[in-house]
Amino acid sequence: MKPPPFEYAAPRKTDEAVALLAQHGDRAKVLAGGQSLVPLLNFRLAQPEVLVDVNRVAELAYVRPVDSGIAFGALTRQHTVERSDDVRARLPIVTEACRLIGHLPIRHRGTIGGSLAHADPASELPAVMVALEAELTAVRRGGRRTLPAEQFFTGIFTTALAPDELLTEIRVPGLPSRTGSAFVEIARRAGDFAIGGIAALVTLDDAGRVGRARLALCGVGPTPIRAREAERVLEGERPEGRALDEATDKIVAATDPPGDIHASAAFRKKLARHVGRQAIGLAARRAGGGS
Ligand SMILES: Cc1cc2nc3c(=O)[nH]c(=O)nc-3n(C[C@H](O)[C@H](O)[C@H](O)COP(=O)(O)OP(=O)(O)OC[C@H]3O[C@@H](n4cnc5c(N)ncnc54)[C@H](O)[C@@H]3O)c2cc1C
């Protein structure tokens, strides 16, 4: 299949891209890495009249340490994120999750902003950004707004972005000391989309109890799911025994999985328990200095 005809614009500045989106509204689509949009065009599942190709907007591609966290330009390639020493040192869960996205050629083109704006429920980065409590900035002609990652994802392949808004920056706060993290997923083959996965961040106090936990799942609901009840169960407890059992029960209760050709809803719930237990254990060990 070939894409339907479209007009093509290749702005070099954020302002120009935003002006084009304002002009064309929902008749336009932003083209970033093209790793999701181009197949959609070729299958004619998306038929925009105008493509606004932002690949030449160099000011949107950066990885910038800010305080103890990191700011990512939306156009930063997933591979650049994966290779960044700053990201590995400050937010190792982002590095870990990026390595699980498709295969290397896909990550060379695919962007962090494209992955978030596409909002595939099985994608790794949306769940990671929800667990990390990232703030996402969207710009439209004459204004900008910043919203928490959890509010950005509103449904399957759906976000809070308006048609004339461009996602420009993802800002992740630094992690407290003695925080360990883990991203664990199950996929049929390396490089496939996850059937289900979880991002876990565990901060331990001096006595080895959980001071803070952040848990967000992918593939088991229409959006990334923050498992707040499970976090509460863990806090103040050692991440083992009854507390861990109860937390994994709460993780399963938080899910709302679909059944499809890849896995039944019941299987996905079992999987959520499995990856939840594994990720919490791994994050806690890493918080204590283990690997
Ligand atoms: C074979 C294969 C395997 C894959 N496996 C995985 C996987 O395991 N995990 C995973 O997460 N992904 C996977 N992907 C998808 C990949 O991560 C894509 O890179 C990502 O989904 C989209 O990023 P992109 O930069 O290519 O965006 P594009 O395809 O260019 O755009 C995707 C959507 O986001 C919108 N968009 C992009 N940038 C912006 C912006 N700055 N502001 C507003 N809207 C924007 C576009 O208009 C479009 O609707 C896979 C892709 C392929 C082809």
pLDDT at position 291 is 63
**Ligand 1: does its nearest atom lie under 6 Å from the Cβ of 181?**
no
Determine contact, residues 156/162, Cβ cutoff 8 Å. Answer: no
Determine contact, residues 59/80, Cβ cutoff 8 Å. Answer: no
pLDDT at position 72 is 98
**Ligand 1: does its nearest atom lie under 6 Å from the Cβ of 91?**
no
Gap between the Cα atoms of 14 and 8, Å rounded: 16
When pLDDT is averaged across residues 93-121 and rounded to a whole number, the result is 97
pLDDT at position 2 is 87
When pLDDT is averaged across residues 74-100 and rounded to a whole number, the result is 98
Atom of ligand 1 nearest to the CA of 194: 8
**Ligand 1: does its nearest atom lie under 6 Å from the Cβ of 80?**
no
189-241 pLDDT per residue, tens = 988 999 999 999 999 999 999 999 999 999 999 999 999 999 999 999 999 99
When pLDDT is averaged across residues 7-23 and rounded to a whole number, the result is 98
Q: What residue's CA is closest to ligand 1, atom 27?
A: 114
238-291 pLDDT per residue, tens = 999 999 999 999 999 999 998 988 899 999 999 999 999 999 999 999 998 776
Gap between the Cα atoms of 200 and 147, Å rounded: 21
Q: What residue's CA is closest to ligand 1, atom 23?
A: 114
pLDDT at position 44 is 93
pLDDT at position 78 is 98
Q: What residue's CA is closest to ligand 1, atom 3?
A: 102
Ligand 1 centroid to 30 CA: how many Å? 11
Task: Give the predicted TM-score (pTM) of the model.
Answer: 0.97
113 φ/ψ angles, rounded to the nearest 5 degrees: -65, -35
Gap between the Cα atoms of 178 and 285, Å rounded: 10
Q: Say yes or no to pLDDT of 50 above 90.
A: yes
Residue 167: strand, helix, or coil: strand
Q: 47 pLDDT band (50/70/90 cuts)?
A: very high
Q: Say yes or no to pLDDT of 162 above 80.
A: yes
Gap between the Cα atoms of 77 and 106, Å rounded: 9
Which residue, among 214, 208, 143, has the nearest Cα to 173 in the 3D structure? Answer: 214
For residue 1, the tally of other CB atoms under 10 A from its CB is 9
